[in-house]
């Protein structure tokens, strides 16, 4: 346990020392600033055009705001995906390539502690990043428009789960693949899930169960897009989520079992990562 904490600490130190955290923070703040400015203009347009004398129906107003917030969160989701894949992409493969793993592995700690310590560090980073980015978006719309997204907590949880899946895959790949091959593979898997998710929605919209099932199988293989759709499903009012074929439209609602599957998936990926790292010559 002590080993896990030390490795996690060392990894956090590395993320800071290599200025990954700084870059992510600066760009994150820039993203939130642009979102705040843009949201402010759109909001004043909506409210200005519909001055108190001719209020637009509350429902229409909510739909417009929800759409903008979802667009913001869709961008946050994309950033989370990138953070999840890229931050740990060379944490094992890089250390193996440089040989710095050798002084760690020969210490009296288990190899599993190295894998879990690194995983823990990137999990914490991912969580903090999600809270800052998604929390920032939610706070901005709250302050400017006094708008509260429905089921934001559930939505955030699914996005966090999605990020955790990708982050774990990135660590798993690093036990055997080179950094570049790992990046190509994990982003490729994400792309596969992405297409699978669209296939599922389009298939459901067109009433083509084969395409829909094909998409579901892809989501079982990599459950990331399904988790995003689930997140989007929860965070939109019923009227909006039925608008077909947007990145957040949910014609075919992923089963809640997908959450259990994703959790199981993460545990299995971690176990495989530990096993592959344990049996590897360094």
Q: Using CB under 8 A, which of the segments 76-84, 106-114, 162-170, 208-216 binds other proteins?
A: 106-114
What stretches of 18-110 show up as alpha helix (H) in DSSP?
20-49, 58-86, 93-98, 100-105
Cβ proximity to other proteins: between 12 and 68 the closer is 12
CA 168/CA 173 separation, integer angstroms: 9
Residue among 52, 108, 207, 238 that touches other proteins (CB under 8 A): 108
Q: Using CB under 8 A, which of the segments 25-33, 99-107, 120-128, 202-210 binds other proteins?
A: 99-107
> In sequence order, what are the residues at sequence separation of 6 or more whose Cβ sits closer than 8 angstroms to the Cβ of residue 138?
69, 148, 149, 152
Q: Using CB under 8 A, which of the segments 96-104, 125-133, 149-157, 192-200 binds other proteins?
A: 96-104
Residue among 107, 150, 237, 239 that touches other proteins (CB under 8 A): 107
Cβ proximity to other proteins: between 104 and 125 the closer is 104
Residue among 6, 40, 154, 246 that touches other proteins (CB under 8 A): 6
Mind spelling out the 3-state secondary structure of 148-180?
A: CCCCHHHHHHHHHHHHHHHHHHHHHHHCCCCHH
CA 274/CA 211 separation, integer angstroms: 35
Count of alpha carbons within 13 angstroms of residue 25, beta-carbon side: 8
The site for other proteins (CB under 8 A) is made up of 2-3, 6-7, 9-10, 13-14, 17-18, 98-100, 102-110, 279, 281-282
């Amino acid at each position: 346990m002590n080993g896990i904490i030390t490795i996690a600490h060392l990894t956090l130190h590395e993320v800071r020392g290599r200025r990954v955290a700084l870059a992510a923070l600066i760009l994150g703040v820039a993203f939130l600033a642009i979102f705040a400015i843009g949201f402010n203009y759109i909001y004043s347009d909506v409210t200005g055009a519909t001055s108190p004398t001719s209020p637009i129906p509350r429902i229409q107003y909510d739909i417009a705001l929800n759409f903008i917030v979802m667009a913001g969160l869709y961008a946050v989701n994309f950033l989370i995906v990138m953070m999840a894949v890229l931050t740990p992409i060379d944490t094992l493969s890089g250390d193996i390539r440089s040989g710095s793993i050798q002084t760690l592995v020969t210490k009296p700690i288990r190899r599993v502690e190295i894998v879990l310590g690194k995983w823990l560090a990137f999990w914490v980073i991912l969580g903090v990043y999600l809270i800052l980015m998604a929390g920032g978006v939610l706070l901005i719309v709250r302050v400017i428009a006094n708008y509260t997204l429905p089921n934001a907590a559930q939505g955030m949880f699914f996005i966090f789960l999605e990020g955790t899946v990708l982050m774990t895959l990135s660590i798993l790949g690093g036990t055997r693949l080179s950094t570049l091959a790992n990046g190509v593979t994990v982003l490729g898997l994400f792309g596969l899930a992405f297409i699978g998710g669209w296939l599922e929605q389009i298939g459901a919209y067109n009433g083509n169960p084969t395409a829909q099932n094909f998409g579901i199988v892809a989501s079982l293989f990599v459950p990331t897009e399904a988790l995003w759709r689930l997140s989007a499903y929860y965070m939109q009012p019923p009227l909006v989520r039925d608008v077909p074929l947007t990145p957040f439209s949910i014609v075919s609602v992923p089963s809640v079992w997908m959450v259990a599957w994703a959790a199981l998936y993460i545990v299995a990926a971690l176990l495989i990562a530990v096993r592959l790292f344990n049996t590897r010559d360094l």
